[in-house]
Amino acid sequence: MNTNNNVYTIIYTTIIVVVAAAILSIAAMALKPRQQANIKAETISQMIAASGISSKEDLAKLGNDKILALYSDNIKTAFLIDKDGNKTDELETEVSSIELQDNLKMENKNIASGEPSLPVYVFEKDGAEINVIPCYGAGLWGPIWGYIAFNADCNEIVGAYFDHESETPGLGAKIKDEAWFREQFKGKKVDFDNPDKPFGIIKGGAPEGDASKVDAITGATMTCNGLDAALNTWFKAYMPFLSKKAGAAVESDACCCEGDSCDSNGEGCGKECDHQHEHKHQHNHQEG
C-alpha cells in the first residue's frame, strides 16, 4: 500500500482512534468500581464528620473499608421520606451492602418538582440519637453541598460539614476549610415559624441571639448566598419531617404532666414528671 496517499492516512488514523477509544473504555470500566467505592467512602466520611462521631482529619487516615465499617457500626437506621415527611423506604446499613441516596443533584431537581425522596441517616453517639440530612446547591463556580446533624428531637443542630467542587481557595472554599464556619451551626435551630426562610447565613454578621442565623464568610458573598439558598431549599423540603420529630418530643414531655395518660405508659413519671413541669415553667418564665 502506498503510505503517502490519503487513503492510507485515513485508515491509519481511524485504527489509532478506535484502539485508543477501546483502551480508554476498558480502563474506565476497570476503574469504575474503585471510583464508586471512593465516592461512597467520601460521602459517608462527610456524614460521620457532621455527626461528630469522628473528625474529617481522622477519617482521612482510614481506608475505605474502615470508613464503611465505622458507618455500619454507628448508624441505627437509614431511610427515605416523601414530601410530607413520611417514611417510604429503608436503606441498607450492613457493611457489605450499604445503600446511600447520594445523587443530591437529582434530588435537588426532585425537590423543585415537588416529588423528592429524601434520605435521613440516624446515628448513635454516646447513647444519643443524631439525625443527619444533606443539602445541595450552586456556589459561585460549581456545586456545593453538605450534611447537617440534628439532635434526637430535630430541634437543634449539633454539627455540620460542607464541601464544594470548585470554589475559590481562601474565599468560598472556606465553607469546607474553616472549622470556625462549621462550628457556628452547633446549637442553632431551624425556624419552624418561618417556613419560607427557616435559616440564614448573614453577610456582615448574624444578629446577636438569633438562633437561626450564622455569620457569612467575608469575601465569599456568592458562595455563602448559594449555601444559604441550598440550606433553605432543603430545610423547607425536610420541614414536615423535622417539625413532626420536634412536635413528638414536645408531646412526649407534656405526657408526664397529664397524670393518668402518663401513668398508663409505665415508667418515667412521678418525680421526673414534676422535674419536667418545673423545667418548663422556668423556661416559660424566662421567655416571658
pLDDT of 269 higher than 60: no
pLDDT tier, 282 (very low <50, low <70, confident <90, very high otherwise): very low
CA distances from 41 to 47, 66, 87 (A): 10, 9, 25
Round the average pLDDT of the chain to a whole number and report it: 87
pLDDT of residue 32: 64
Residues 6+ apart with CB under 8 A from 92: 78, 98, 99
- Domain assignments of the chain as residue spans, ordered by start: 36-253, 256-287
pLDDT digits (tens, 9 = 90+) for 217-245: 999 999 999 999 999 999 999 999 999 99
pLDDT of residue 3: 63
The answer to whether 214 and 160 have CB atoms below 8 angstroms apart is no
pLDDT digits (tens, 9 = 90+) for 121-134: 999 999 999 999 99
Give the Cα separation of 237 and 235 in Å (integer). 5
pLDDT of residue 31: 63
Q: What angle do CA 31, 36, 39 make, to 5 degrees?
A: 125
pLDDT of residue 229: 98
Give the residue with greater pLDDT, 174 vs 246: 174
pLDDT of residue 20: 85
pTM of the entire structure? 0.79
Edge-to-edge strand order for the sheet containing 75-81?
A: 87-90, 75-81, 118-125, 128-138, 143-150, 157-164
The answer to whether 124 and 97 have CB atoms below 8 angstroms apart is no
Q: What are the DSSP calls for 189-203, one per residue?
A: ---TT-TTS--EEET
